[in-house]
Amino acid sequence: MMVLVARAASFTASLDRDSISLGETATLSLSFEGAQPKNVPTPGVPGLQIANSGTSQNVSFINGAMSSTVTVTYSVTPERTGKFVIPAMTADVNGQRITSQPIELTVLQAHAPPAAALNSGSEIAFMKLILPRRKVYSGETLAAELQIFLRDDVQNFGNFQMNSTPADGFVIGKSAEGARFRTQLGSRVYTVIPLSLALTVTRAGDLSLGPFTADIVVVLPSQNQGGDPFFAQFFNQGEQKQLTLATEQVSTHSLPLPDQNVPANFNGAIGDFTMTVTAGPTDVTVGDPVTVHVQIAGRGSLDSIKLPDQSGWNNFKIIPPTSKSDLSDALGLEGTKTFDEIVMPESASIHALPAFSFSFFNPDDGRYHTLTQPSEQLTVHAGGTAPMPTMIAAAKNSAPENQTPQDILPIKENLGTLAQISSPFVARPVFLAVQTAPVLAFLAALVWRKRTDSVANNPRLRRRRAVAHLVQIGIGDLRTFAAENNSELFFTTLFRLLQEQLGERLDCPASSITEAATEDLAARGAPESLLNDLRELFQLCNQARYAPVRDPAELNSAAAKFEKLIAELQALKI
């Protein structure tokens, strides 16, 4: 049987460590025992970043007694070194207000292990920062190297993360991992992982780099597995350990670029370069473009190289160049940069492309250098006096899009058909309205087809229409016969029309219709007035057989009565 034992609630705050290095993260745990806290205090300490990292609950039964512990954890990341106090916090647990004890946390500056420790092989892992030269120039881009040493008993590593990379006077650019190698320090062998960093010096004066700090998780052989060492080497899964690595701070001095002997067209290129210049076509007309192809190769910050302004190119219209970098190393410090500059001679008096020069400062020898391409002969024809360059004609006649043209194709001689600028057809309401015509035509055809099929499949309907048509014509005939006072034909026609109409209504042959049909109509609910009119007309027809002489007025009256009767008959719902 479970026994619930009421226990006094408690609240404790604790840190997993009381001293950490800058860049490391400690864990703060707030534990509430006995009951759920009503409010969880949020600690706040200037200089510490404290962030909630989760909540867990532990329920245990011991000898039938249940106890519950709620733990709220926070990650604590220092922003500076020093001693910090996480103050006492108060929480409402199970109706009691409980206060925790204040906790101290000491944050130390991350530092590299002493040289003696490194050389003895006692460090599991450490980092070294190496600058290639102690003398650098402002604006220069150079490659530094960060080396990560891992001792031979490290089975694996991961989660390498740089925490801080202080660089006073440098801008850190691209980075690239180099080829790993092994080295012996003391009695241990270390695997070295080199990481190259591109650094650009931003100012002259004393500069410092580091200490860089990083976290890494290494896997070391487990000490507690025991058993046979032979099998242990295959089955030992190892245990993980998080380490914080730090480099020494590296100081250097940056010199400004020399003031003396600065070439006129020096525009900030620093490194060691060579230049190749080609231009073409060299036989052109005034205004035709000549492409000057400049290739600068070497070591330095190629991305930042710009073509200097050229003196002596005053008689040319110059279009800003396009450029393309082809870098041969991962840091972007070696390779080739190519510029294509379009220049257009503005006068036929030009006979040469002027010399082209490019200046740079070489930090290796501390001197400025100027590379110069001598002037090249150029033939410029006056506008309109010379044919367009030959490649134009060739291009025009042979698929211009498949060739690399040197110039635009020439103008067209014929104006062609001029058209008023107008909105596209798809935006014109009239055009869109016209597009509904085929749809309407189809719909009309569809309706026609439905009606035709409907009539074809319905004999009664077909007969009704035929009789209606016949009656329509017959009424005209009756009027004619009445006007002619042709009593015999009048009543013959009248009788026939009555037979047709009643036959259609009663769905029986017309020839079988006599006055007796009125009884059928009466049985089907026809109104008495209609039946009386019908009988009267039948009687008139019968009388006419024996006393055919009638005056036109009487015939017209009979015709009118027939017309009215027919309308009622056709409207009759049987």
> What does the binding site for other proteins look like in residue numbers (CB under 8 A)?
285-287, 289, 317, 319-322, 342, 344, 382-384, 395-396, 399-401, 405, 407-421, 424-427, 431, 435, 437-439, 441-442, 444-446, 448-449
Q: Buried (b) or exposed (e) across 77-106, using 16+ Cβ within 10 A?
A: bbeeeeebebeebebbbbeeebebeebebe
CB 410, min distance to other proteins, A: 7
Q: Residue 166 or residue 287: which is nearer to other proteins going by CB? A: 287
CB 436, min distance to other proteins, A: 10
Is the separation of the CB atoms in 150 and 180 below 8 Å?
no
Angle at 494 between CA 491 and CA 498, to 5 degrees: 140
Q: Residue 181 or residue 425: which is nearer to other proteins going by CB? A: 425
Instruction: Tell me which residue of 414, 415, 416, 396 sits closest to 406, measured CA to CA.
Output: 396
Q: Residue 456 or residue 574: which is nearer to other proteins going by CB? A: 456
Name beta bridge partners: 527.
none
Instruction: Tell me which residue of 418, 394, 421 sits closest to 406, measured CA to CA.
Output: 394
As given in the structure block, the two tokens for residue 147 are 């080396």
Q: Residue 211 or residue 289: which is nearer to other proteins going by CB? A: 289
Q: Residue 223 or residue 398: which is nearer to other proteins going by CB? A: 398
Q: Residue 420 or residue 457: which is nearer to other proteins going by CB? A: 420
Q: DSSP secondary-structure letter at 16? A: S
Q: Residue 228 or residue 401: which is nearer to other proteins going by CB? A: 401
Stated length of the chain: 574
Give the chain's largest Cα–Cα span. 154
Amino acid, res. 238: G
CB 337, min distance to other proteins, A: 14
CB 448, min distance to other proteins, A: 7
As given in the structure block, the two tokens for residue 552 are 């036109």
Phi-psi group of 298: left, alpha or beta (phi > 0 → left; psi -120 to 50 → alpha; rest → beta): left
Beta-sheet strand order (sheet of 82-86): 19-21, 103-108, 82-86
As given in the structure block, the two tokens for residue 271 are 């490194």
As given in the structure block, the two tokens for residue 474 are 């017959």
Q: Residue 153 or residue 326: which is nearer to other proteins going by CB? A: 326
CB 525, min distance to other proteins, A: 40
CB 259, min distance to other proteins, A: 30
- End-to-end Cα distance, the chain: 90
Name beta bridge partners: 50.
76
Distance CA 20, CA 84 (A): 11
Distance CA 312, CA 307 (A): 15
Q: Residue 262 or residue 444: which is nearer to other proteins going by CB? A: 444
Distance CA 533, CA 521 (A): 12
Q: Residue 303 or residue 477: which is nearer to other proteins going by CB? A: 303
Q: Residue 392 or residue 565: which is nearer to other proteins going by CB? A: 392
CB 314, min distance to other proteins, A: 15
As given in the structure block, the two tokens for residue 411 are 């103008």
CB 415, min distance to other proteins, A: 4
CB 215, min distance to other proteins, A: 31
CB 417, min distance to other proteins, A: 6
Q: Residue 319 or residue 473: which is nearer to other proteins going by CB? A: 319
As given in the structure block, the two tokens for residue 500 are 């047709």
To the nearest 10°, the Cα dihedral for 501, 504, 506, 507?
160
Is the separation of the CB atoms in 121 and 186 below 8 Å?
yes
CB 378, min distance to other proteins, A: 16
Distance CA 82, CA 549 (A): 140
DSSP one-letter string for 361-416: EETTTTEEEEEEEPPEE-EEEPTTTSPPPHHHHHHHHS-GGGS--SSPPPPPS---
Q: Residue 439 or residue 523: which is nearer to other proteins going by CB? A: 439
CB 333, min distance to other proteins, A: 24
Angle at 110 between CA 108 and CA 116, to 5 degrees: 115
CB 164, min distance to other proteins, A: 28
H-helix segments, 227-358: 229-235
CB 564, min distance to other proteins, A: 40
Distance CA 91, CA 10 (A): 10
Q: Residue 239 or residue 340: which is nearer to other proteins going by CB? A: 340
**Beta strands at 26-33 and 19-21: parallel, antiparallel or unpaired:** unpaired
